Amino acid sequence: MSEREIVCADLSRAIDDLSRDGFRLEVIYPADDPHTAVLSHGSDDVRVTTRPDAPPIPAELPAFIPEFVLTRVGGSSGHGRAGMLYRDLIPSRLGGRYIGSNIAIPGGGPVSDWVHYHRIAFQIIYVRRGWVRVVYEGQGEPFLMEPGDFVLQPPLIRHRVLESSPGLEVIEITAPAMHETFADHATQLPNGVDRALVFGRQRFLLHAASETPWAPFNGGEAQESALAEATGGLANARSIRAGAGPIDFPPHEGELVFGFVLDGSATLDYREKSPFHAGDAFVIPPNEAWRITDPSADFRLLHVTTARLD
């Protein structure tokens, strides 16, 4: 098999040029700011990269490095895979263990995506604004996701983004931070329904906000999810809104404690008091208590936690 490398200044243009010559995309990474891709044509494999000295994808999960993170809204967004805009919510990546992204598709319409999968330990996608139509391996016909809905994408599950509303925004949390997107040219979706499918000891989950009641939660209210069950206790996620007073969060004994302010404003009371607003994100180190005070009436929070991934 012939293998060669092309170093280029514009990855998208290089991929387009090779595609016109009959090559097809096999792998691209990273999703939030792609710099490397592999394409094939018969027995000819080509690695195209703008960063030939970039380190390879780690074979093992990077070590978790906990720290407090507060990322304010308004940061710039980079051009990611399939024309999506990515805003980095966890710049330090917690040692490379996690990536958090606020992903947007401003124009909407059909998405230039393809059937693909990821070698990851954990990944969820939560809709903040607009709607998106997606299709997943073994989950039947394409379906619509709306604000408050999220999916668990288990390791290696084949899936595809089909179309979106203008102004779509989603929050994506993935471990590890650096991972490839692999094209699957052999699988056609939809491919029927098989609810018994297990991917890396996880099951696909669609959380529908419209079907989930609000219940009291530590001074506020929450829409709980079945994420803990679907991941075998690996992770949990909930939507939280203001209640009668402060919202208390006891120490979490796992790894990730992530929050994203979906709407409204409040004060984050951790070490010191920090006002935060819609679009801000934060990470609290494990084993430390924190609380939210002075939430506005329209305050909404996405709260995601994980156990130790290893």
pLDDT band for position 1 (cuts 50, 70, 90) = very low
Cα–chain-centroid distance for residue 249? Answer: 23
Find tokens 């990546």 and name the residue.
93
Name residues whose C-beta falls within 8 Å of residue 165's C-beta, 6 or more positions apart in sequence: 108, 130, 131, 132
Name the domain count of the chain: 3
Instruction: Kindly state the helix (H) or strand (E) to which residue 17 belongs, with its residue range.
Output: helix 11-20
Cα–chain-centroid distance for residue 229? Answer: 19
pTM, two decimals, is 0.95
Could you tell me if residue 264 is inside a domain?
A: yes
Could you tell me if residue 272 is inside a domain?
A: yes
Mark whether 86 and 163 lie in a shared domain.
yes
Could you tell me if residue 68 is inside a domain?
A: no
Summarize pLDDT for 220-276 with one digit per residue, the tens.
Answer: 999 999 999 999 999 999 999 999 889 999 999 999 999 999 999 999 999 999 999
Residue range(s) defining the domain that contains residue 131: 76-207
Summarize pLDDT for 163-216 with one digit per residue, the tens.
Answer: 999 999 999 999 999 999 999 999 999 999 998 999 999 999 999 999 999 999
Could you tell me if residue 99 is inside a domain?
A: yes
Q: Measured between alpha carbons, how far is 193 from 219 in angstroms, rounded to an integer?
A: 40
Could you tell me if residue 56 is inside a domain?
A: no
pLDDT band for position 2 (cuts 50, 70, 90) = low
State percent of the chain over pLDDT 90.
Answer: 91
Q: Measured between alpha carbons, how far is 66 from 215 in angstroms, rounded to an integer?
A: 30
CB-neighbour burial class of residue 33 (10 A; exposed 0-12, middle 13-18, buried 19+): middle
Mark whether 95 and 43 lie in a shared domain.
no
- Number of Cβ within 10 Å of residue 126's Cβ equals 23
Q: Measured between alpha carbons, how far is 68 from 96 in angstroms, rounded to an integer?
A: 15
Name residues whose C-beta falls within 8 Å of residue 42's C-beta, 6 or more positions apart in sequence: none
* β partners of residue 1: none
Mark whether 203 and 219 lie in a shared domain.
no
Name residues whose C-beta falls within 8 Å of residue 147's C-beta, 6 or more positions apart in sequence: 127, 128, 129, 130, 131, 209
- Number of Cβ within 10 Å of residue 249's Cβ equals 22
- DSSP readout, 87-153? EES-TTGGGGT-EEEEEEESS-EE----SEEE--SEEEEEEEES-EEEEETTB-S-EEE-TT-EEE-
Average pLDDT score over the chain = 95
Mark whether 282 and 184 lie in a shared domain.
no
What's the rounded mean pLDDT across residues 13-28?
96
Could you tell me if residue 65 is inside a domain?
A: no
Mark whether 147 and 249 lie in a shared domain.
no
Could you tell me if residue 41 is inside a domain?
A: yes
